Structure 1
Amino acid sequence: MGTVAAYIDGFNLYYGMKSKYERKYLWLDLIKLVRHLRPEDDVVRVRYFTTIVRGEPAASANQINYVDALRAYSGDLLDVQIGWFKKRTLSPCKLCGAHWHCTCPRRPRTFEEKETDVALAVAMVEDAAAGLADLTLLISADSDFAPAVAAIKRIRPEHPVILAMPSGSLQPHKRFSDVGFFSINETALRQSQLPERIYDPLNSKVRERPDKWR
């Protein structure tokens, strides 16, 4: 048995699950998931990086509810880091030419995520350099993390890095080298759900799984 520190790219995990299973498994216990993925190892830290969506009040409320439930249920083992969105100038929709509102299936995005990827990469490299755990588990299929993985390998060549790729990703991008990898299957997601109701002592509220997340 060794120790593992996990780093979770919240949006990559979200879109991976949603693309294959809709919202069925979004009420996810991240610590339980990591323990399911690495049953032989002792989990010493789980770092979750995400950004609260903007422009969609219901989705934002569900996400905040989930983050608060995670914090209330997981204790100090889970570190949640929230990034931010930067408003950007829209290019016209490629289908209809509209610059703002359109009814096309793929509408233009109005915001782009900032800081979360950089924060994850920095934390992952710093923790590996400090010897926080024997193994680094990265839950993401985003090739933007390849330089951070390469930095870990330069600092500690013997330190194993494993990619746990969200549903739908079968192979890591070619930019990754010297890493182990596997795909997160439906069983792992199904068996790693939070309780339906969680008491949040910080806000004196009961956090419940949203109806749309069933």
Structure 2
Amino acid sequence: MANRVAIFIDGAYLDYVLKEEFKSARIDYRALSEQLAGDSDILRTYYYHCLPHQGNPPTRQESDRYSTQRRFFNTLDRLPRYTVRLGRLAFRGVDENGRPRYEQKRVDILLGVDMVQLAAKQVIQDAVLVAGDSDFIPAITAAKSEGVVIRLFHGQRPHSDLWQEADERTQFTQGFVDAVSMSLTS
């Protein structure tokens, strides 16, 4: 019998990797989950992100971006064995060019709580994590203490402590991204 795996995707991180390393490749998220799982049985894919900022009142561009993201998250949430969990954005001032800066809140903790709960209940044997920062290390440590094998999928520069804490590590390649990309006729 194959191991059961839960897949945890930091959506903002995946967006960043796809944009910066793979020219904004469009992904078939069902195929992505299957590739990430390998030979394991998928319990569920958890996708974490935030809706974009909207002013009060929102500009036309903000409304359009918000509606597009909402539709995307709703589409993901309807895929078999997919769950979308949304955090929120917090305003963090402006950058040197006067553009507003926002920070995701609750996303990392939502992911960590889900991972630890599934590990503690012994529902999974493996956890696939698509992420790049060290905020997930406490959850990884707790899941590993319950016997869960942590498989990290990452871009070119994951945090070194995160990389070290994972049991298995796979850097995204062009071949992997090509295998899960949507065809132009989709």
Q: CA deviation at 1:23?
A: 2.3
Cα distance change, pair 46–66 in 1 and its aligned pair in 2 (3 A):
same
The residue that corresponds to 2:134 in the other structure is: 143
Mapped partners of 1:195, 1:50: distance in 2:
24
Q: CA deviation at 1:194?
A: 5.2
Query: Which structure carries more relative contact order (alpha carbon 8 Å, separation 6+)?
Result: 1
Q: TM-score, normalised by structure 2?
A: 0.82
CA contact (8 A) 1:37 1:188 kept: no
For residues 76-100 of structure 1, the C-alpha deviation after alignment (integer angstroms, 9 at most, x for no partner) is x001111111223x2662xxxx6xx
Structure 2 counterpart of 1:13, which letter? L
Cα distance change, pair 24–195 in 1 and its aligned pair in 2 (3 A):
closer
Q: CA RMSD in A?
A: 2.4
Mapped partners of 1:6, 1:151: distance in 2:
16
Larger radius of gyration: 1
Q: Percent identity?
A: 23
Provide structure 1 residue ranges, at least 5 long, that are not aligned to the other structure. 102-106, 198-208, 210-214
Structure 2 counterpart of 1:59, which letter? R
Structure 2 counterpart of 1:63, which letter? Q
Partner SS state of residue 53, structure 1: coil
Q: CA deviation at 1:62?
A: 2.8
Structure 1 counterpart of 2:149, which letter? P
Mapped partners of 2:8, 2:72: distance in 1:
18
1:61 to 49, 53, 67: 67
Q: TM-score, normalised by structure 1?
A: 0.72
CA contact (8 A) 1:29 1:192 kept: yes
Q: CA deviation at 1:184?
A: 1.9
- Written as runs of structure 1 = structure 2, the 5 A alignment for 1:24-103 is 24-25=25-26, 28-55=27-54, 57=62, 58-72=64-78, 74-75=79-80, 77-88=81-92, 90=93, 93=96, 101=98
Mapped partners of 1:64, 1:91: distance in 2:
25
The residue that corresponds to 2:58 in the other structure is: none
Q: CA deviation at 1:121?
A: 0.6
Provide structure 2 residue ranges, at least 5 long, that are not aligned to the other structure. 55-60
Partner SS state of residue 174, structure 1: helix
Structure 1 counterpart of 2:153, which letter? A
1:192 to 154, 174, 180: 180
Partner SS state of residue 138, structure 2: helix
1:174 aligns with 2:161: yes
Cα distance change, pair 115–130 in 1 and its aligned pair in 2 (3 A):
same
Mapped partners of 1:91, 1:63: distance in 2:
23
Partner SS state of residue 182, structure 1: strand
Mapped partners of 1:13, 1:39: distance in 2:
18
Q: Count matched residues.
A: 177
Mean CA deviation greater in 115-124 or 16-25? 16-25
For residues 120-155 of structure 1, the C-alpha deviation after alignment (integer angstroms, 9 at most, x for no partner) is 01111111111121111111111110111112223x
Q: CA deviation at 1:46?
A: 0.6
Q: CA deviation at 1:16?
A: 1.1
CA contact (8 A) 2:45 2:83 kept: yes
Q: CA deviation at 1:59?
A: 3.3
